[in-house]
């Protein structure tokens, strides 16, 4: 064989770059459902259930999947879709992909890198991320750790209005672009998996937690050696959890309080957690820039509709220019694209990225974003749309029954596993 032939062959036989096994494991997950399965092996059962579970009988949780499964597309063939435009505009600025990352509490419970990892992954993908009031990284720390990327701050109006005002001012001073006020949580939903698992934040160490540590050594090692979990938005992290609960949720909040926040916050205001056209009209009166039709991923009041069940009626209540966002149950790219056909301006995803976070920290969140982006791009192309904004009502058939049958429970039963780690629950989002 001539020398040049050897060279050609050698080039072909170049060893594949050595990849970390964590990355290989994540790449084997081709869907969010597979990431979820990976996540279930990486963290204690109580942590997984905290993310995965819903309120009460989890009827809303199942209904969300059921409604999205009912979507039937109506594609247009023979269109040039070689380079589809995936970006959308939200609050007057670009999101490079047609979804943003919803606010979720306690992300450092899922993986020690927590909110910082999520914000990093979002910034790299060019999509917005909303830090939650119940986050385990403070608004200031998140900005200093991840200065780039669009950041929104989610607010729960606390009983202590002065503390609430200070929190809003901190978010403004730290440079958060928009404030998302969540209005569907007068009290915390009853998530039976958490009660049965005895979830507490931070977790308490008992004989059974020690046993669980043997099954999930990496999670426990990080939990015991990294910075302790704390409610990072609060000035008082040393108060007992029950007391913090009192300080936090306020069941007296009304539309007037939202008007107060509107006057306080100069930037874009988003109201999250609307579950009827009637409430869409009530909150629109306060002058928000966007509202989020959301059943909180089935984690608050059970037996709520999915946003698709009333999206047209809600839209009819909104003045021109108010954006209509949706969340709850969106876990594939097809789900996400279907929202634009149903008239949404933006989709938020929650659990989809948290499964990634539990499965592998930063690279897990990146994997979740990549899965959703690939699926959304392919859906767009196969629908015959050259951009997300080209997706219209003509691209879906209706077919959502008015009173949908209640589908079977998810494979992971909501009843507590006898092996569940006994992490005590006093109060959480």
CB 263 within 8 A of CB 297: no
**Pick from 103, 110, 92, 99: nearest CA to 130:** 103
Q: Which of 104, 136, 137, 338 binds ligand FMN (CB under 6 A)?
A: 104
347-366 mask for ligand FMN (x: CB under 6 A)?
A: --xxxx-x------------
Residues 8-37 that bind ligand FMN (CB under 6 A): none
Question: Residue 94 CB, nearest distance to ligand FMN (Å)?
Answer: 22
Residues 175-234 that bind ligand FMN (CB under 6 A): 182
Residue 297 engages ligand FMN in binding (rule: CB under 6 A): yes
Site mask, ligand FMN, residues 121-150, x = CB under 6 A? -----------x-x----------------
CB of 156 to ligand FMN, least distance (A): 7
Active site residue 296: yes
Is 332 a binding residue for ligand FMN by CB under 6 A? The answer is no
Judged by CB under 6 A, does residue 105 bind ligand FMN? yes
In the complex, minimum distance from the CB of residue 420 to ligand FMN, in angstroms, rounded to a whole number: 17
CB of 5 to ligand FMN, least distance (A): 55
Beta-carbon contacts of 74 under 8 Å, excluding residues fewer than 6 positions away, are 394, 395, 396, 397
CA dihedral sign of residues 210, 216, 218, 219: negative
Cα separation values, 327 from 191, 275, 340, 351, Å: 19, 11, 12, 11
Helix H or strand E segment including 291? strand 290-293
CA distance linking residue 98 with residue 195, whole number of Å: 35
CB of 1 to ligand FMN, least distance (A): 57
Q: Please identify which residue in 330, 344, 360, 414 interacts with ligand FMN, judged by CB under 6 A.
A: 330
In b/e form, how buried is each residue of 368-402, taking b as 16+ CB within 10 angstroms?
A: bbbbbbebbbebbbebbbebbebbeeebbeeebee
Beta-carbon neighbour count of residue 282 at 10 Å? 17
Residue number, 120 or 328, with CB nearest to ligand FMN: 328
Q: In whole angstroms, how large is the CA radius of gyration of the chain? A: 22
Catalytic residue numbers read 296
Interacting residues toward ligand FMN by CB under 6 A: 50-51, 102-105, 132, 134, 154, 182, 272, 294, 296-297, 299, 327-330, 349-352, 354, 429
């Amino acid at each position: 064989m001539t020398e040049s032939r050897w060279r050609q062959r050698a080039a072909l036989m170049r060893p594949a770059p050595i990849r970390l096994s964590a990355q290989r494991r994540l790449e084997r997950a081709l869907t969010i459902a597979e990431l979820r399965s990976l996540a279930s092996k990486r963290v204690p059962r109580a942590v997984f259930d905290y993310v995965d579970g819903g309120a009460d009988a989890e009827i809303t949780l199942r209904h969300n999947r059921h409604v999205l499964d009912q979507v039937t597309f109506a594609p247009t063939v023979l269109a040039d879709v070689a380079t589809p435009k995936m970006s959308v505009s939200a609050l007057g600025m670009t999101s490079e992909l047609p979804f943003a990352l919803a606010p979720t509490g306690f992300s450092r419970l899922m993986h020690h890198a927590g909110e910082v990892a999520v914000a990093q992954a979002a910034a790299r993908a060019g999509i917005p991320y909303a830090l939650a009031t119940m986050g385990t990284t403070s608004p200031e720390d998140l900005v200093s750790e991840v200065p780039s990327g669009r950041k929104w701050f989610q607010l729960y109006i606390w009983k202590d209005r002065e503390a609430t005002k200070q929190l809003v001012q901190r978010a403004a001073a730290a440079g958060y672009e928009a404030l998302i006020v969540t209005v569907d949580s007068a009290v915390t939903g009853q998530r039976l998996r958490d009660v049965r698992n005895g979830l507490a934040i931070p977790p308490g160490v008992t004989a059974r937690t020690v046993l669980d540590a043997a099954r999930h050594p990496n999670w426990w090692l990080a939990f015991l050696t990294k910075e302790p979990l704390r409610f990072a938005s609060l000035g008082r992290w040393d108060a007992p959890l029950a007391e913090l609960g009192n300080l936090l949720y306020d069941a007296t909040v009304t539309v007037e309080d939202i008007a107060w926040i509107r006057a306080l916050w100069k930037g874009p205001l988003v109201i999250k957690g609307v579950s009827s056209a009637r409430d869409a009209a009530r909150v629109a009166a306060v002058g928000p820039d966007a509202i989020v039709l959301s059943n909180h991923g089935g984690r608050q009041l059970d037996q709520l509709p999915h946003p698709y069940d009333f999206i047209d009626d809600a839209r009819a209540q909104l003045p021109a220019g108010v954006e209509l966002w949706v969340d709850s149950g969106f876990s594939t790219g097809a789900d996400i694209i279907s929202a634009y056909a149903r008239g949404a301006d933006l989709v938020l995803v929650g659990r989809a990225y948290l499964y990634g976070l539990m499965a592998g920290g930063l690279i897990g969140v990146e994997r979740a974003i990549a899965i959703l982006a690939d699926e959304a791009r392919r859906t767009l192309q196969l629908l015959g749309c050259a951009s997300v904004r080209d997706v219209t009502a003509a691209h879906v058939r209706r077919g959502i029954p008015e009173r949908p049958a209640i589908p079977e429970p998810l494979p992971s039963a909501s009843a507590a596993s006898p092996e569940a780690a006994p992490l005590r629950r006093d109060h959480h989002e």
